[in-house]
């Protein structure tokens, strides 16, 4: 019996959860209709009975992840009235981020969706509730959602890629030397960071600390606008 449970019938839900598992284990690139069918013990064409097409699978992926986020943040229940709004929003967003860390492929799926899953809207509705409790006007809350952008869901678009940086000090030194000619400020900045923290590798940054820095910058700015906007 090589096939795992060939009896249990196919379901949209079973297809989507298999897709999440596939993406978690093998990466998003391996989520093809054919391989997804294989993972679920069926032929590629059988999927189309439960799912409109591949776009629908990707939409479903965001719904599953957003539901996981909502299940997590709904348990928080922090006080949000008045000045507490900031702490409540902060924890909500950092909790969402922890879910996404378990599904590293998820941000790129969220980014490519052209339609917003109701489950994501529900997440936003919860965020809005916290801001309203903090005294935000709807207008300010609206601006806030835009200002947070993908950060509201717990991820940011980093344009340096840390993972491609060099690893040995020799490589680091060589790169800094090359940089110094054409990119003096970048070279100086990296040299300075290496100096301050010799254990840091060039190009590597503490993602969590950077995420929180940017998040707090925005939240503090919004806090200052609460009464006047």
Six-digit token pair at 154?
């717990």
Sorted by sequence, the CB contacts under 8 Å of residue 229 that are 6+ apart come out as 136, 137, 139, 140, 143
Under 8 Å between Cβ of 153 and 110: yes
Which residues 160-219 are close enough to bind a copy of itself by CB under 8 A?
Answer: 160-161, 163-164, 179, 182-186, 188-189, 192-193, 196, 205, 210, 213-214, 217-218
Closest separation in Å from C-beta 51 to a copy of itself: 20
**67 forms part of the interface with DNA (CB under 7 A):** no
Q: Given the complex with DNA, which of 2 and 9 has the nearer CB atom?
A: 9
From 29, 39, 30, 27, select the one nearest 15 (Cα to Cα): 39
- The window from 49-57, 143-151, 157-165, 200-208 that contacts DNA (CB under 7 A) reads 49-57
Q: Given the complex with DNA, which of 33 and 180 has the nearer CB atom?
A: 33
Give the three-class secondary structure for 39: helix
Sorted by sequence, the CB contacts under 8 Å of residue 132 that are 6+ apart come out as 138, 141
From a copy of itself, DNA, none, interface partner of 48 (C-beta below 5 to 8 A by class): DNA
Q: Given the complex with a copy of itself, which of 46 and 63 has the nearer CB atom?
A: 63
State how far the Cα of 12 lies from the Cα of 46, in Å rounded to an integer.
11
**DSSP per-residue string spanning 92-126:** HHHHHHHHHHT-TTHHHHHHH-SS--HHHHHHHHH
Which residues 95-114 are close enough to bind a copy of itself by CB under 8 A?
Answer: 108, 110-114
Give the three-class secondary structure for 14: helix
State how far the Cα of 183 lies from the Cα of 43, in Å rounded to an integer.
53
**4 forms part of the interface with DNA (CB under 7 A):** no
**142 forms part of the interface with a copy of itself (CB under 8 A):** yes
**x-or-dash string of contact with DNA, 6-45, rule CB under 7 A:** ---xx-------------------xxxxxx-x----xxxx
Candidate residues 5, 7, 115, 181; the one interacting with a copy of itself per rule CB under 8 A: 115
Torsion of CA 115, 121, 124, 126, to 10 degrees: -170
From a copy of itself, DNA, none, interface partner of 122 (C-beta below 5 to 8 A by class): a copy of itself
Q: Given the complex with a copy of itself, which of 33 and 133 has the nearer CB atom?
A: 133
Closest separation in Å from C-beta 84 to a copy of itself: 17
- Positions that interact with DNA (CB under 7 A): 9-10, 30-35, 37, 42-46, 48-50, 53-55
């Amino acid at each position: 019996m090589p096939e795992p449970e060939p009896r249990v019938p196919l379901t949209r839900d079973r297809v989507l959860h298999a897709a999440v598992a596939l993406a978690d284990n093998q990466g998003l690139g391996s989520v093809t209709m054919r391989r997804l069918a294989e993972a679920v013990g069926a032929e590629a064409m059988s999927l189309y009975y439960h799912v409109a097409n591949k776009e629908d699978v990707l939409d479903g992926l965001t719904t599953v992840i957003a539901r996981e986020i909502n299940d997590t943040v709904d348990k928080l229940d922090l006080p949000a009235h008045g000045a507490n709004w900031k702490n409540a929003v902060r924890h909500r967003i950092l909790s969402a981020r922890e879910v996404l860390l378990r599904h590293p492929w998820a941000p790129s799926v969220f980014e490519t969706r052209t339609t917003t899953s109701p489950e994501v809207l529900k997440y936003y509705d919860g965020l809005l509730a916290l801001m309203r409790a903090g005294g935000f006007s709807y207008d300010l809350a609206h601006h806030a959602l835009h200002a947070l952008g993908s950060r509201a869901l717990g991820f940011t678009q980093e344009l340096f890629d840390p993972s491609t940086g060099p690893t040995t000090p020799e490589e680091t030194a060589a790169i800094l030397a090359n940089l110094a000619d054409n990119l003096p400020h970048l070279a100086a900045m990296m040299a300075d960071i290496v100096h301050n923290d010799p254990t840091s590798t060039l190009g590597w940054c503490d993602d969590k600390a950077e995420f929180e820095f940017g998040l707090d910058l925005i939240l503090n700015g919004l806090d200052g606008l609460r009464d006047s906007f």
